[in-house]
Amino acid sequence: MQLAKRIEKLPPYLFAEISRKMAEKRAQGVDIVSFAIGDPDIPTPSHVVDALCQAAREPVNHRYPESDGLPDLRRVIARWYEQRFDISLDPDREVLPLIGSKEGIGHIALCFIDPGDLALVSDPGYPVYSVGTMFAGGECYFMPLTEENDFLPDLEAIPETVARRAKLMWINYPNNPTGAVADLDFFERVVRFAQKHDIAVCHDAPYTEVAFDGYRPVSFLQAAGAREVGVEFHSFSKSYNMSGWRIGMAVGNAKMVDALMRVKSNLDSGIPQAIQRMAIAAFEGPQDCIAEHNAVYQRRRDRLVEALARMGLGVRSPKASLYVWARVPDGYTSIEFATRLLDDIGVVLTPGIGYGPHGEGYIRLSLTIPDEQLEEGLRRLAGWGA
């Protein structure tokens, strides 16, 4: 049998080599400490799990769900956007629940990209933006995110010929992997750029609720004109520790939401209704869990940033997201440095090159590491740096 070219063209899995080494070390009895996984370690709040248990017993939830989600859920999402960002959305035309936001992020390329079309994608970035584009037959123009520009793309540097060919633009703030944040001024520049070149904007925003020091991230949809040009992807995974339940949403431009719904209704049969009930419980229930989780992450962030700075690594303390992005010491590539730490002290972190060529020179460490493992990791890093 012959695999399709789109499978052969998939980039090599960055972590394959490191996973192999980790397995090898573990087999030798080495105790590995991993800062690599961006997946909340704290359990889903119990009132949210209770909503699932109750909904699971109701036969109405045993049947096929609707592709566009429960009307109740769409309404609750619209209400949350209103309360949190002061944006009013039409729950029937501007809100679409997703089987985790990754699902919609991957599929929306099918709505805008024909073979040969171009998508503007940040580098470094979450790999699904470029893979979704490639699956749809398109190509990516990578917008570098550099430290000098606070990890925002330089829209002015995008050549006119590229902007004219582009159909879609991907941005993501608070950002994975750099931990950078964006303000309304940046989002308004994106809107003007998109209007000028007739580009659909996708803002991936799973970290708006994971923020520190009192900082409150903004929504792309708060920018003037944003709803005319774009959608925002959001998720329950990071805000409510619900990554295992697979539920998120796209909100914003009605034409984009409708196109995504049409693709999805031909591919999936919606989100299990009992899980939609969890999402309703998460948005409607007590919100203290968010501040509690953020206090845990903030303390971990402070410990980690301090330890990395003491090792002499260039590091900024992130105002939001679950990641610390640090420069590797001179003389190493990001893969060499990650391999060295694994070999020397059994500490795993993610080489920046895995998120794109402009991730080279950096490593990403996740704050979703349980406290005891964090402390053990910090002890080892301090010993290595000494």
Using CB under 6 A, list all residues that contact ligand PLP. 38, 100-102, 126, 172, 176, 204, 206, 235, 237-238, 243, 248
Both structure tokens of 352: 């920046």
Least Cβ distance, residue 26 to ligand PLP (angstroms): 25
Contact yes or no for 21/338 (Cβ under 8 A): no
DSSP SS3 for 178? coil
Least Cβ distance, residue 204 to ligand PLP (angstroms): 5
Least Cβ distance, residue 97 to ligand PLP (angstroms): 11
Contact yes or no for 8/355 (Cβ under 8 A): no
Contact yes or no for 57/273 (Cβ under 8 A): no
Query: Measured from the CB atom, is 179 or 377 closer to ligand PLP?
Result: 179
CA–CA separation, 120 and 142 (whole Å): 6
Per-position b or e across 319-345, b if 16+ CB within 10 A of its CB = bbbbbbbbbbeeebebbebbbebbeeb
Least Cβ distance, residue 98 to ligand PLP (angstroms): 7
Helix (H) or strand (E) holding 129: helix 128-135
Helices (H) and strands (E) in the chain, counts: 15, 12
CA–CA separation, 31 and 147 (whole Å): 34
Query: Measured from the CB atom, is 133 or 172 closer to ligand PLP?
Result: 172
Burial of 185 per CB tally in 10 Å (0-12, 13-18, 19+): exposed
Least Cβ distance, residue 116 to ligand PLP (angstroms): 26
Per-position b or e across 202-233, b if 16+ CB within 10 A of its CB = bbbbbbbbbbbeeeebbbbbbbeebbebbbbb
Query: Measured from the CB atom, is 325 or 380 closer to ligand PLP?
Result: 325
Query: Measured from the CB atom, is 176 or 294 closer to ligand PLP?
Result: 176
Query: Measured from the CB atom, is 170 or 307 closer to ligand PLP?
Result: 170
Query: Measured from the CB atom, is 201 or 378 closer to ligand PLP?
Result: 201
Query: Measured from the CB atom, is 38 or 45 closer to ligand PLP?
Result: 38
Query: Measured from the CB atom, is 34 or 243 closer to ligand PLP?
Result: 243
Least Cβ distance, residue 130 to ligand PLP (angstroms): 13
CA–CA separation, 220 and 110 (whole Å): 22
Closest residue by Cα to residue 363 from 305, 322, 324: 324
Rg (CA), the chain: 21
Query: Measured from the CB atom, is 169 or 381 closer to ligand PLP?
Result: 169
Least Cβ distance, residue 179 to ligand PLP (angstroms): 11
CA–CA separation, 5 and 243 (whole Å): 31
Least Cβ distance, residue 282 to ligand PLP (angstroms): 13
Least Cβ distance, residue 198 to ligand PLP (angstroms): 25
